[in-house]
């Protein structure tokens, strides 16, 4: 999808990288010890997903960017995502987590012609994570309960409401040939402001084919995600993910911007570590 300016292209590529890295690398986090405090490298990959939940149009990015991993006691930018750890026990962790999603130009989405572009979304807020069970030495059943405020970057920064995404996942450290895998199921719920951002049609932008619509708070999508990663050597790791989404039961299925009941996302990436610290992370 074309972006209106070069600046937006750079910005969206950077956040696409964050979205891809946080989405693809969860499996490599599982219970590793003695990792470097920091690592510096280069990431190359691509990501394709619906332009917004229930859209029939897609947003796709391919990029090459520098990466930085830091495993501090509080701030963490690692294989499990980006966050600030507030509390940690053996099986439970509370942190401030971050997420991001791609922008979309309304001129490339027939249903949104004449409407404001969807900007880059940055989400952050408290996240409770924990281990429910360890079926074997190399596997675990986990949960995440993140509550995030959503900020949009699009000719400025503005709040777009709140999102809640409860998730349960099963991680396996070694499924053969050095692969790590995880499967997760989650729900994405939004308040009325966030759902209005995706599905609302103001009266002044209504057309004969796109009647005015006021969105309600509630379910946005149900997700099933599979992540995989494998080391190709001491400095190279490949990541991949595939996600199926169901919008059935959406609180805003009556919106004229709701175009389909299912969607898919996929990504593939390669990270090459160029340097790492001699100091080790505490955990």
The string of pLDDT tens digits covering residues 235-283 is 999 999 999 999 999 999 999 999 999 999 999 999 999 999 988 887 6
Question: Percentage of residues in the chain with pLDDT exceeding 90?
Answer: 57
Query: 53, 21, 208, 39: which is closest to 118 by C-alpha?
Result: 53
How confident is the model at residue 1, as a pLDDT? Answer: 37
Query: 104, 119, 191: which is closest to 153 by C-alpha?
Result: 119
- Above 80 in pLDDT, residue 41? yes
C-alpha dist (Å) from residue 122 to 1, 25, 148, 158, 223: 20, 19, 9, 10, 19
Question: Using 50, 70 and 90 to split pLDDT, how confident is the model at 80?
Answer: low
How confident is the model at residue 71, as a pLDDT? Answer: 80
Q: What are the tens digits of pLDDT across the range 171-190?
A: 998 877 788 999 999 999 99
The neighbour count for residue 48, using CB atoms within 10 Å, is 15
Q: What pTM value is reported for the model?
A: 0.83
Chain position carrying tokens 């950077």? 14
**Residue-range domain boundaries for the chain:** 6-276
Asked whether the beta carbons of 120 and 158 are under 8 A apart, the reply is no
Q: Across residues 150-165, what is the average pLDDT?
A: 93
How confident is the model at residue 15, as a pLDDT? Answer: 42
Task: Decide which of 2.10.260, 3.40.50, 2.60.40, 2.40.230 is the CATH code for 6-276.
Answer: 2.40.230
Q: Across residues 31-51, what is the average pLDDT?
A: 83
Three-class DSSP category at 107 = helix
Question: Using 50, 70 and 90 to split pLDDT, how confident is the model at 6?
Answer: very low
How confident is the model at residue 60, as a pLDDT? Answer: 85
Question: Using 50, 70 and 90 to split pLDDT, how confident is the model at 20?
Answer: very low
Query: 274, 272, 275, 268: which is closest to 16 by C-alpha?
Result: 268
Q: Tell me the two tokens of residue 27.
A: 């499996």
Secondary element (H or E) of residue 236? strand 236-246
Distance CA 35, CA 30 (A): 12
End-to-end CA, the chain: 41
The H helix count followed by the E strand count for the chain is 2, 13
Q: Across residues 60-81, what is the average pLDDT?
A: 76
- Above 70 in pLDDT, residue 150? yes
How confident is the model at residue 147, as a pLDDT? Answer: 96
């Amino acid at each position: 999808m074309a972006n209106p300016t070069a600046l937006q292209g750079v910005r969206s590529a950077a956040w696409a990288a964050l979205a891809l890295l946080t989405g693809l690398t969860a499996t490599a986090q599982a219970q590793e010890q003695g990792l470097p405090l920091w690592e510096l490298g280069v990431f190359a990959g691509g990501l394709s997903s619906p332009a917004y939940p229930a859209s029939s149009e897609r947003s796709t990015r391919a990029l090459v960017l520098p990466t930085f991993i830091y495993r501090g006691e509080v701030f963490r930018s690692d294989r499990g995502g980006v966050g600030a750890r507030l509390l940690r026990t053996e099986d439970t962790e509370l942190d401030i987590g971050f997420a991001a999603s791609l922008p979309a130009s309304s001129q490339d989405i027939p249903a949104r012609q004449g409407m404001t572009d969807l900007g880059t979304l940055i989400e952050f807020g408290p996240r409770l994570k924990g281990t429910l069970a360890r079926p074997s030495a190399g596997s675990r059943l986990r949960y995440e309960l993140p509550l995030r405020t959503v900020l949009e970057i699009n000719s400025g920064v503005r709040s777009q409401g709140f999102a809640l995404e409860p998730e349960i996942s099963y991680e396996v450290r070694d499924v053969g040939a050095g692969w790590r895998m995880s499967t997760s199921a989650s729900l994405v719920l939004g308040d009325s402001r966030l759902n209005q951002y995706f599905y609302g049609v103001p009266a002044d932008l209504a057309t004969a084919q796109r009647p005015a619509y006021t969105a309600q708070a509630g379910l946005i999508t149900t997700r099933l995600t599979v992540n995989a990663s494998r080391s190709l050597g001491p400095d190279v790791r490949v990541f991949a993910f595939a996600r199926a989404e169901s919008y059935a039961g959406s609180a805003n299925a009556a919106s004229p911007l709701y175009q389909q009941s299912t969607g898919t996302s996929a990504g593939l990436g390669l990270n090459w570590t160029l340097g790492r610290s001699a100091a080790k992370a505490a955990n």
